[in-house]
Amino acid sequence: MVKLFIWKAANELLPTKKNLFLRKVVKDPFCPMCFKEEESVIHSLWECPATNDVWANDLSGVSKWKREGGDFLALWVRLMGGLDNSKLEEIAVQLRKVWLRRNTVVFEKRLTCPKTLITTSIESLEAFKQANRLTNSNNAVQQRIVAVNKTRWIPPTANFVKVNWDASLDVKEKRMGMEVIIRDEN
């Protein structure tokens, strides 16, 4: 999940106000946290005054780093060059939590404490690592994963169809999306 988030951020694919404005989804591109600048990826995750309270915290590991970064990819390259792997993992989780904090402000009008953000990100990373250690040590789980990966789709017999469907619901926006795939033996 965090790797996908970093990839989206590096490729400017997060739904920032600037990106939504360019697609004519919102009426203004300004940051919903500071209301001073356009909300780009680098602004929302690194430069915004509302995120500076996170990064200025001594627990963040980057409290003395400069806040101007150009674009997120340049920042990520700087982080990779200046931090060891374990600290880089923590920063990656913290960046995602900063984005989730921003979303909490936008959708729930609630701001989380910066210190809480950092400590929960460190705790969730450690829980993830511990879960991976348990999973890797359990041979039966790995055998099931191999069996699932070997499963192939088999067409139905003649005069039958297979139907796969998925749906999602956004209660707040009162919207629903659904996809259905129907296949026969051909």
pLDDT tens column, 23-34: 999 999 999 999
Q: Please give the single-letter amino acid code of residue 33.
A: M
pLDDT at 20 over 90: yes
Given a cut of 80, whether residue 68 has pLDDT beyond it is no
Residue with tokens 């920032």: 16
Is pTM beyond 0.75? Reply is no
CB 146 within 8 A of CB 157: no
- Please check the confidence at residue 40 and state whether its pLDDT lies above 90: yes
CA angle (117, 121, 123) in 5-degree steps: 120
Tens digits of residue pLDDT in 122-173: 999 999 888 877 776 666 666 666 666 666 778 888 888 988 888 888 888 8
CA 59 – CA 128 distance, rounded (Å): 19
pLDDT band at 69 (very low <50, low <70, confident <90, very high): low
pLDDT value, residue 65: 82
Give the span between the Cα atoms of 96 and 35, in whole angstroms. 21
What is the predicted pLDDT for the residue at 43?
A: 94
125 contacts 91 by C-beta, under 8 angstroms: no
Q: What pLDDT, on the 0 to 100 scale, is given for residue 1?
A: 74
Q: How far apart are CA 7 and CA 184, in angstroms?
A: 37
pLDDT at 110: 92
Instruction: Note the pLDDT tens digit of each residue in 44-66.
Output: 999 999 898 899 888 888 887 87
pLDDT value for 30: 96
By C-alpha distance, which of 30, 31, 172 is closest to 102?
31
- Residue 6, pLDDT score: 92
For residue 57, what are its two tokens?
């915290």
Quick count: other Cβ atoms within 10 Å of Cβ 115?
Answer: 14
Q: Which residue do the tokens 């929960």 mark? A: 120
75-110 pLDDT tens trace: 999 899 989 999 999 999 999 999 999 999 999 999
- Let me know if 170 is exposed, middle or buried by CB neighbors in 10 A (0-12, 13-18, 19+): exposed
At a CB cut-off of 8 Å and minimum separation 6, what does 34 contact? 48, 49, 50
**pLDDT over 90 (residue 15):** yes
